[in-house]
Amino acid sequence: MSTRAVMQDADISRALTRISHEIIESNRGAGELVLLGIPTRGVPLAERIAALISGFTDHTVPVGSLDVTMYRDDLHRNPTRTPHPTRIPDAGIDGKTVVLVDDVLFSGRSIRAALDALQDIGRPAAVRLAILVDRGHRELPIRPDFVGKNLPSSRSEHVAVRLREIDGSDEVSIRS
């Protein structure tokens, strides 16, 4: 097996800066915006994007986390998953533009689970999707609105995202 780095710290920072600007532009500012990270690595990514948006606009963007464990359609294959807490900002999500944030988009099943979980929490005005790495191979009709890097890969390859908040360093690598 060989592993190669496809994004380093600076690449990830540039991608998150670009995603932040695109979110501001598509939302026409930072008002009525809520970012929800999908655990595990989507949460620190959402926090980083919110900090960047706040720095660019002087508007504090609420951040939360949305656990999708119990909404997954593959829970029977791996029933020992550990649920993470869902944290919704105090103002809620009703009438807001919610940006779901995750590290890797592959089949689309985690995002489908996130949409189901979101439906149980409230009714946003719009839902957008920000992804650090889009590796293709969709099984569901899900398309991200904001992408850090498109990374064509084979189904047998594994894309690993490391973030300093969890892993001590920032890197995206692909193992074949």
- Give the model's pLDDT for residue 117: 95
User: How distant, in Å, are the alpha carbons of 97, 143, 169 from that of 158?
Assistant: 32, 20, 18
155 occurs within a structural domain: yes
- Give the model's pLDDT for residue 78: 67
169 occurs within a structural domain: yes
Range of the domain at 144: 3-22+32-70+83-175
Total tally of structural domains belonging to the chain: 1
76 occurs within a structural domain: no
78 occurs within a structural domain: no
Q: pLDDT tens for residues 94-136?
A: 999 999 999 999 999 999 999 999 999 999 999 999 999 999 9
Return the closest-CA partner of residue 100 out of 133, 65, 75, 134.
65
Average confidence (pLDDT) over 38-62: 97
d(CA 59, CA 168) in angstroms, rounded, equals 29
Average confidence (pLDDT) over 126-151: 96
In the chain, what percentage of residues exceed pLDDT 70? 95
Note the pTM of the prediction, 2 decimals.
0.94
53 occurs within a structural domain: yes
* Confidence check: pLDDT of 77 > 80: no
CATH for 159? 3.40.50.2020
Question: Which amino acid is located at 138 in the chain?
Answer: R
